[in-house]
Amino acid sequence: GVISRLNHTQTFDTLCDKPNELKLGGVDLPSPVFALAVSPRGQSDLDRMADSLSRIIEEDPTLELERNTDTSETVLHGLGDIHVDLAIERIARKFDVNLDTALPNIAYRETVGGQTSVSYKHKKQSGGHGQYGHVVLDISPGETGKGITFGSKVVGGNVPKDYIPAVEKGIRNAANSGVVAGFPVVDVAVMLTDGSSHSVDSSGMAFEIAASMGFRQAVREARPTLLEPVMKLRILTPEDCAGDVMSDLSTRRAQIGGMESKGNGVTEIVAVAPASTMQRYAADLRSLTNARGDFTAMMDHYEPLPAQEANKVIASRQSNEEE
């Protein structure tokens, strides 16, 4: 039978007789394997984009919506390129909201490969009270996954205790905005070792500026490098396609972790590969296996980006900033 006008009913709700309430078990949904960044085509689309995306996801729970704070993008995830494309078409047809799409930007990170010590003095005089802040910073590679760690070894009050929080704030703000390519700086240990102050012109703002500029200078001198996100892959492929799948993975800078026969002519391949090489893998795997392959991918870790690839990313970011 058919029941119409169910304004408050969503996918997977259970319909039953009210005196005999019954709720059926949930459904294990497959994980998304493809994503597109979406943006409104015009002002009228902007006003209705959030509502239309929320409604389409209520209808199809295999879609997922993400607001990526690293890249400031709204990202729609689905079970493949066709799935996401059809969702965009449905939004246009059903809600009259037109969305532009693009592959999401990769959330790289910046870090350092060496140690250095920098002395930075912020001094400005423009009539009346000036600005004066002087910091000496030691930076070195920090513990993986700890972000920016900050400490102070200042003795003798060269940097007054009241200004040390401003120093830390300046360092963290500079780290969040990036140094060499505009990506957040992570896994760096920073130690405030010395500095100086002025009885009249020093302030929290002056020390914050000095720390920010000093940190940026130090990162540039400490062998900066980019880190790229790496995905853990589990691929199921027909045995007769396994060789082609393995060859394709080698072109994506993947590292094969294992290969195992699962029976019934199916082979499982476990690997890790950079996220930047896997954005269109759903379509590529479909082509390699005549639509008989399947895979899952999840974020695993960050690792250094090869110098040649890093230079391309930095050049692209600088070009976009100039535009």
Q: Can you give the pLDDT at residue 1? A: 66
Predicted confidence (pLDDT) per residue in 247-301, tens digit: 999 999 999 999 999 999 999 999 999 999 999 999 999 999 999 999 999 999 9
Nearest to 86 by CA among 67, 73, 101: 101
Are 263 and 240 contained in the same domain? Answer: yes
Please report, as a single letter, which amino acid is at residue 264.
Answer: N
Q: What is the CATH number of the domain that holds 250?
A: 3.30.70.240
Check residues 33 and 20 and name the one with the higher pLDDT: 33
Nearest to 203 by CA among 271, 130, 142, 265: 130
Nearest to 240 by CA among 263, 260, 259, 266: 266
Q: C-alpha dihedral over 254, 259, 261, 262, to 10 degrees?
A: -60
Nearest to 207 by CA among 141, 162, 154: 162
In sequence order, what are the residues at sequence separation of 6 or more whose Cβ sits closer than 8 angstroms to the Cβ of residue 304?
Answer: 113, 225, 226, 227, 228
Q: Give how far Cα 138 sits from Cα of 154, 179, 311, Å.
A: 12, 17, 26
pTM over 0.75: yes
Q: Taking 90 as the threshold, does the pLDDT of residue 238 lie above it? A: yes
Q: Taking 80 as the threshold, does the pLDDT of residue 227 lie above it? A: yes
Residue 153, judged by CB atoms within 10 A of its CB (0-12, 13-18, 19+), counts as: exposed
- Tell me which of 76, 102, 128 is where a domain ends: 102
Domain annotation covers residue 211: yes
Mean pLDDT estimate for the chain: 92
Domain annotation covers residue 322: no
Are 69 and 152 contained in the same domain? Answer: no
Placement of tokens 């396994």 in the chain: 242
Domain annotation covers residue 315: no
Categorize the per-residue pLDDT at 13 as very low, low, confident or very high, splitting at 50, 70 and 90: confident
Q: Taking 70 as the threshold, does the pLDDT of residue 323 lie above it? A: no
Q: For strand 64-68 and strand 73-78, is the pairing parallel, antiparallel, or unpaired?
A: antiparallel
Domain count of the fold of the chain: 3
Domain annotation covers residue 177: yes
Alpha-helical runs (H) found in 222-269: 242-250
